[in-house]
């Protein structure tokens, strides 16, 4: 009694769903060992057929393969179930087959009599055809598709991962969504790999069916004649019909499940199930239906042809085409003209200050073919992406950028767009909404047919390809993005590059108001007692101009409040703030590594530049010959750092940091210049390249 109670409590804690799998496997294995009565065998064969039909219907109603991710396991379990039923039915056929065709149950008897008319010769032929169809055609094809799908999915994983990282960096998706997409990519690869292996079970099941058929016929004939004294004809009839019925009742569900496997691995993922795709893509073109109907009708008029069947089907196809034509015309019928508007007064109003149009700080102008990307009613998602860009920018840089005003511009090319800052163009490009941009990151495995171009954000070589080429492009190692992502990434890149221009006085005041809620005395002590708002704005713009963020407002304001009584020079104040932000600056380049690997400068060159700074009062320019040599060697050292995968950082004395930063900014924008004072004491420095300035 205690044992039963403990078992009951264990079942309650584990749950029925948890126990369902192990119990089912144990029952299937038990059928191979334990003898089953014919009535129970009928129920299990019926259950096997029902499972096969359920699997087929589920596979047809999925929209992508991962919706039925458990399918490889289901394939294995159903194969094991069929083999167990074959073993159980073989036992009954050999033991009780001499009693008549119903010895193994009514299901086997029905399949042996009804489906093949009681003729065992016909039954053998039908069974052989089913096995050949399942083994040679369906299972082999599904296995090949799964194998190729697994290979292409694995090859495409790097490109898909890079696309996810690009969306994440552009602020189009969050970390949770990115993590979910990465998991889906890994699951997709695992699914196709599992399907490739599971298809081998089905092929083995077909071979086992043939062997079991031969064993049952030969074994039954021997048992019937030698043990039960049946005559040869009766033994052949009884055991052959029972064996054929047993084989058919197992192979028909196997054929159904193999078909389901082929459907799952062969369909292209979309928002529609297989039935909707068939109707929508096969029977949606009236021209095709008309031509097919005419051809069928002409064939039906040939003497000797079955006129009724051909003419009936041809007429039905023509009628369906006419119906589709009528529906298309109704959908395109022009709407009734709207009632005329009231006449507008001919007298023009006086001009006012309301007529003064303010220039948008940030603007996006699009050609007429790109309007759908910014129209919510047409499922355009660019507006949502721009919201994500502004949120990501705010989190990364430290202030809220102005909103992006979007408008159409008929002066642009139909697929063109341009991005403006305070009315001036800062970037432009073209996008094709129905196509994808395949960007070459530098290690692709092949060329793609399409329109060659360059990624508008970073200038990488790229190709505009059709949607059908997307999977192939990812398999070749391209980073594949849609048109909205192209525009959004370009906009995000330009916003980050021009962050200093976007930080106006209004944004600075909003930052200070936000800081005042946390530390009210900081802002009160600095502005306007020690520094005007314009000077604080200039310091922050200097930081942004060199790729720094301004999230640490407390440190910035405290440093300015400390040194403002000594100097009002914004360049000097910026240098002092950079020293205070030194740990954050260095962290951008070496993260958690204890060592900072940088480009150094020759001591003699440092001395020459500092002398020039002192003689010029801090505003000296570099002598032209020295400037050319300095620029050439800085470019060579930068390329060396990039090849080694190291940060492109030039370490110089604080006295010449501002001079070098301004000098190298245009020619080498990727090279960051930091001073010795900005490196925190807990970081060690190793010079991996040197700018000598000689020559």
Averaged pLDDT, 253-260: 79
CA distance 346 to 350: 13
Residue 429 has a pLDDT of 92
SS3 helix, strand, coil % of the chain, rounded to 5?
Answer: 65, 10, 25
Q: What confidence category does residue 297 fall into, taking pLDDT thresholds of 50, 70 and 90?
A: confident
338 has a pLDDT exceeding 60: no
CB 473 within 8 A of CB 515: no
Averaged pLDDT, 500-509: 89
CB 511 within 8 A of CB 479: no
Domain 503-580 has CATH 1.10.8.540: yes
pLDDT tens, position by position, 177-197: 888 888 887 777 777 777 777
Most confident stretch, 131-145, 220-234, 263-277, 433-447: 433-447
DSSP strand pairing (424-430 vs 435-439): unpaired
Q: What confidence category does residue 172 fall into, taking pLDDT thresholds of 50, 70 and 90?
A: low
Q: What confidence category does residue 333 fall into, taking pLDDT thresholds of 50, 70 and 90?
A: low
Q: What confidence category does residue 343 fall into, taking pLDDT thresholds of 50, 70 and 90?
A: very low
Residue 345 has a pLDDT of 46
Q: The tokens 């403002």 sit on which residue? A: 564
- Give Cα separations from 173 to 161, 400, 437 (angstroms): 13, 18, 19
Q: What confidence category does residue 337 fall into, taking pLDDT thresholds of 50, 70 and 90?
A: very low
612 burial (CB, 10 Å; 0-12 / 13-18 / 19+) is: middle
The more confidently predicted of residues 27 and 508 is 508
358 has a pLDDT exceeding 60: yes
| 662 closest CA partner among 607, 605, 613 | 613
Q: Whole-number mean pLDDT of the chain?
A: 79
The more confidently predicted of residues 342 and 402 is 402
pTM of the full predicted structure? 0.55
Residue 528 has a pLDDT of 78
CA distance 189 to 638: 39
- Give Cα separations from 569 to 332, 535, 541 (angstroms): 68, 8, 14
CA–centroid distance for 25 within its chain: 36
| 428 closest CA partner among 415, 439, 417 | 417
- For the ranges 140-144, 500-504, 572-576, the lowest mean pLDDT is seen at 140-144
335 has a pLDDT exceeding 50: no
Domain 361-498 has CATH 3.30.70.560: no
pLDDT tens, position by position, 369-392: 888 888 877 777 888 888 888 888
Residue 416 has a pLDDT of 92
Residues composing the chain: 695
pLDDT tens, position by position, 37-76: 777 888 888 888 888 888 888 887 777 777 777 878 887 8
The more confidently predicted of residues 340 and 650 is 650
pLDDT tens, position by position, 537-546: 999 999 998 8
Most confident stretch, 98-112, 334-348, 421-435, 678-692: 421-435
pLDDT tens, position by position, 435-487: 999 998 888 888 888 889 999 988 889 999 998 888 888 888 899 999 999 99
Residue 668 has a pLDDT of 85
Residues 6+ apart with CB under 8 A from 411: none
CATH architecture, range 590-695: 3-Layer(aba) Sandwich (3.40)
Averaged pLDDT, 13-31: 67
CA atoms within 13 A on the CB side of 407: 10
Check whether the bond before 528 is cis (ω within 30° of 0).
yes
Domain ranges of the chain: 20-272, 283-327, 361-498, 503-580, 590-695
Query: Which tokens is 615 given?
Result: 């003689």
Most confident stretch, 137-141, 356-360, 621-625, 633-637: 633-637
| 318 closest CA partner among 341, 296, 348, 346 | 296
Beta bridge pairs of residue 282: none
344 has a pLDDT exceeding 70: no
The more confidently predicted of residues 276 and 395 is 395
Residue 428 has a pLDDT of 92
Q: What confidence category does residue 418 fall into, taking pLDDT thresholds of 50, 70 and 90?
A: very high
């Amino acid at each position: 009694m205690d044992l039963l109670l403990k078992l009951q409590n264990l079942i309650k804690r584990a749950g029925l769903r948890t126990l369902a799998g192990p119990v089912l496997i144990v029952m299937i294995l038990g059928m191979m060992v334990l003898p089953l009565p014919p009535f129970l065998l009928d129920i299990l064969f019926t259950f096997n057929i029902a499972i096969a039909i359920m699997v087929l219907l589920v596979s047809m109603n999925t929209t992508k393969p991962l919706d039925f991710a458990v399918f490889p396991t289901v394939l294995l379990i159903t194969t094991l179930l069929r083999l167990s039923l074959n073993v159980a039915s073989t036992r009954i056929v050999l033991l009780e087959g001499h009693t008549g065709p119903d010895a193994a149950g009514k299901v086997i008897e029905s399949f042996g009599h009804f489906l093949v008319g009681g003729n065992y010769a016909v039954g053998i032929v039908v069974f052989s055809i089913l096995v050949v169809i399942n083994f040679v055609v369906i299972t082999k094809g599904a296995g090949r598709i799964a194998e190729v799908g697994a290979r292409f999915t694995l090859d495409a994983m790097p490109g898909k991962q890079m696309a996810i990282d690009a969306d994440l960096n552009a602020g189009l998706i969050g970390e949770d969504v990115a993590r979910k997409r990465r998991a889906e990519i890994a699951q997709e690869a695992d699914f196709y790999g599992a399907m490739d292996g599971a298809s081998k079970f089905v092929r083995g099941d077909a071979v086992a069916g043939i062997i079991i058929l031969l064993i049952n016929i030969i074994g039954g004939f021997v048992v019937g004649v030698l043990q039960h004294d049946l005559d040869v004809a009766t033994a052949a009839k009884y055991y052959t019909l029972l064996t054929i019925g047993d084989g058919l009742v197992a192979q028909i569900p196997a054929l159904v499940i193999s078909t389901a496997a082929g459907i799952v691995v062969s369909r292209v993922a979309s928002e529609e199930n297989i039935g909707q795709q068939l109707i929508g893509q096969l029977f949606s073109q009236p021209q095709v239906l008309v031509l097919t109907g005419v051809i069928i009708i002409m064939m039906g008029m040939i003497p000797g042809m079955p006129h009724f069947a051909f003419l009936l089907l041809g007429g039905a196809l023509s009628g369906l085409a006419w119906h589709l034509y009528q529906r298309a015309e109704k959908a395109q019928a022009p709407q009734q003209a709207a009632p005329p508007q009231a006449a507008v007064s001919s007298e023009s109003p006086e001009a006012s200050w309301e007529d003064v149009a303010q220039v948008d700080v940030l603007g996006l102008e699009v050609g007429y073919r790109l309007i759908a990307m910014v129209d919510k009613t047409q499922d355009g998602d660019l507006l949502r992406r721009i919201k994500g860009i502004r949120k990501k920018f705010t989190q990364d840089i430290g202030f809220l950028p102005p909103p992006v005003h979007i408008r159409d511009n008929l002066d642009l090319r139909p697929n063109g767009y341009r991005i403006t800052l305070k009315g001036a163009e800062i970037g432009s490009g073209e996008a094709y909404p129905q196509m994808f941009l395949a960007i070459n990151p530098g290690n692709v495995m092949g060329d793609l047919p399409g329109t060659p171009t360059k990624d508008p954000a970073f200038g990488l070589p790229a190709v505009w390809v059709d949607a059908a080429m997307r999977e192939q492009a990812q398999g070749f190692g391209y980073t594949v993005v849609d048109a909205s992502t192209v525009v959004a990434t370009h906009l995000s890149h330009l916003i980050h590059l021009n962050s200093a221009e976007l930080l106006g006085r209004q944004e600075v005041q909003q930052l200070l108001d936000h800081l005042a809620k946390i530390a009210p005395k900081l802002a009160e002590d600095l502005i306007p007692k020690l520094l005007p708002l314009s000077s604080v704005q200039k310091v922050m713009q200097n930081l942004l101009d060199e790729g720094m963020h301004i999230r640490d407002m407390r440190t910035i304001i405290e440093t300015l409040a400390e040194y403002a009584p000594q100097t009002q020079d914004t360049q000097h104040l910026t240098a002092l703030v950079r020293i205070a932000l030194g740990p954050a600056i260095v962290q951008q380049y070496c993260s958690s590594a204890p060592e900072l690997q940088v480009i150094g400068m020759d001591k003699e060159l440092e001395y020459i530049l500092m002398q020039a700074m002192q003689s010029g009062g801090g505003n000296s320019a570099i002598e032209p010959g020295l400037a050319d040599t300095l620029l050439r060697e800085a470019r060579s050292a930068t390329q060396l750092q990039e090849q080694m995968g190291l940060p492109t950082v030039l370490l110089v004395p604080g006295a010449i940091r501002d001079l070098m930063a301004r000098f190298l900014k245009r020619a080498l924008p990727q090279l960051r210049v930091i001073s010795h004072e900005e490196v925190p004491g807990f970081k060690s420095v190793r010079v991996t390249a040197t700018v000598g300035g000689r020559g």
